């Protein structure tokens, strides 16, 4: 682990612990040491095979998921518009979540696409073995047709975070997931949905454990590799958290999208700002990272270690705003 920020974060953990009561706050760490190289670098500089959604030649596309007050057309637009107004720029990638039975091509999807954003659809497909048994063929075909009809390239994260232990009951195993991935992709091909860039997106923790690579469908099946990475339960530099993934990804000729990233409120405003500052330079040090999407949300029922919204936290949002305005991310 790098000296500077890594040492500060370790001391923060030792003093404050990994969970906090209502009145407890971790001590704010000082700014990271920016004189040393960031932790975690994917050395693959391309060229990359990215499918219909082309990776920028330089820099990275900037985006986010913003939890709306209501999951409606108006609510989704208002959430994105509010963040864009605060940042003073449009998002190039809008992440959106869909249950298995929810179709792409909603009015808000079409509005975001009309504005020039790239849609990243995080699609929660179901039980892999029931998919392989053909129980959902009609649903999958309907989704493929819906994607085809929007006629512009989209990023599709088929059952992102498939390596999470709490999903094992429906994922079953890596081979089951891989077989289901190929099965679904074949149906999309039959339906002429050739405007999809297929995004494989496990968790950073899955690479730390070592089981995530077992879910990889193969370079011939994947257009973008991806990782979801959070400073939630563990407050460490983002390069350390996703280091094992970056080492793995460097061996594959695919651009990387950071599908979700976030730093929890539990770590204090100054700590969050320092983490984001280090994240920005880590992204820039990795030429294989071609897109990033912040998880701007406080999921209901989660404690402070899993609350990631930056709006309302002046110091942290200021650093996020600096990232958004960095020319490297304005593509």
Give the active site residues: 161, 260
Which are the contacts of 257, defined by CB distance < 8 A and separation ≥ 6? 61, 93, 120, 155, 199, 201, 224, 225, 226, 289, 290, 291, 292, 293
The beta strands (E) that lie in 33-129 are given as 61-66, 93-99, 118-124
Token pair 């057309």 in the structure block, residue: 73
Closest to 279 measured CA to CA, from 92, 91, 32? 32
**Distance in angstroms (rounded) separating the CA atoms of residues 329 and 331:** 6
Q: For strand 154-158 and strand 118-124, is the pairing parallel, antiparallel, or unpaired? A: parallel
Gyration radius of the chain over CA positions: 19
Closest to 283 measured CA to CA, from 232, 254, 242? 242
Token pair recorded at residue 184: 């679904």
């Amino acid at each position: 682990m790098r000296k500077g920020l890594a040492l500060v974060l370790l001391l923060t953990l030792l003093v404050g612990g990994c969970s906090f009561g209502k009145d407890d706050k971790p001590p704010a760490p000082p700014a990271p040491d920016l004189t040393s190289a960031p932790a975690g670098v994917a050395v693959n500089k391309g060229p990359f095979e990215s499918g219909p959604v082309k990776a920028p030649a330089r820099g990275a596309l900037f985006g986010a998921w913003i939890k709306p007050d209501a999951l409606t057309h108006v609510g989704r637009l208002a959430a994105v518009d509010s963040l864009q107004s605060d940042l003073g720029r449009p998002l190039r990638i809008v992440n959106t979540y869909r249950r298995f039975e929810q179709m792409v091509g909603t009015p808000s999807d079409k509005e975001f696409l009309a504005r020039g954003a790239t849609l990243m659809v995080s699609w929660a497909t179901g039980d892999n073995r029931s998919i392989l048994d053909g129980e959902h063929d009609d649903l999958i075909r309907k989704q493929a047709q819906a994607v085809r009809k929007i006629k512009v390239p989209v990023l599709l994260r088929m059952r992102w975070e498939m390596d999470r232990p709490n999903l094992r009951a429906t994922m079953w195993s890596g081979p089951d997931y891989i077989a289901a991935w190929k099965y679904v992709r074949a149906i999309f091909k039959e339906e002429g949905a050739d405007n999809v860039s297929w995004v494989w997106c496990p968790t950073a923790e899955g690479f730390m454990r070592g089981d995530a690579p077992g879910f990889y469908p193969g370079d011939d099946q994947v257009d973008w590799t991806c990782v979801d990475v959070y400073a939630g339960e563990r407050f460490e530099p983002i390069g350390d958290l996703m280091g094992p993934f970056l080492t793995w990804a460097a061996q594959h000729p695919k651009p990387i999208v950071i599908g979700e990233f976030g730093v929890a409120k539990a770590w204090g405003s100054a700590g969050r700002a320092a983490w984001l500052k280090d994240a920005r330079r880590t992204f820039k040090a990795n030429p294989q990272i071609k897109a990033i999407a912040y998880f701007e949300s406080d999921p209901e029922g989660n404690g402070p270690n899993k609350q990631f919204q930056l709006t309302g936290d002046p110091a942290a949002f200021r650093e996020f705003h600096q990232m958004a305005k960095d020319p490297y991310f304005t593509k």
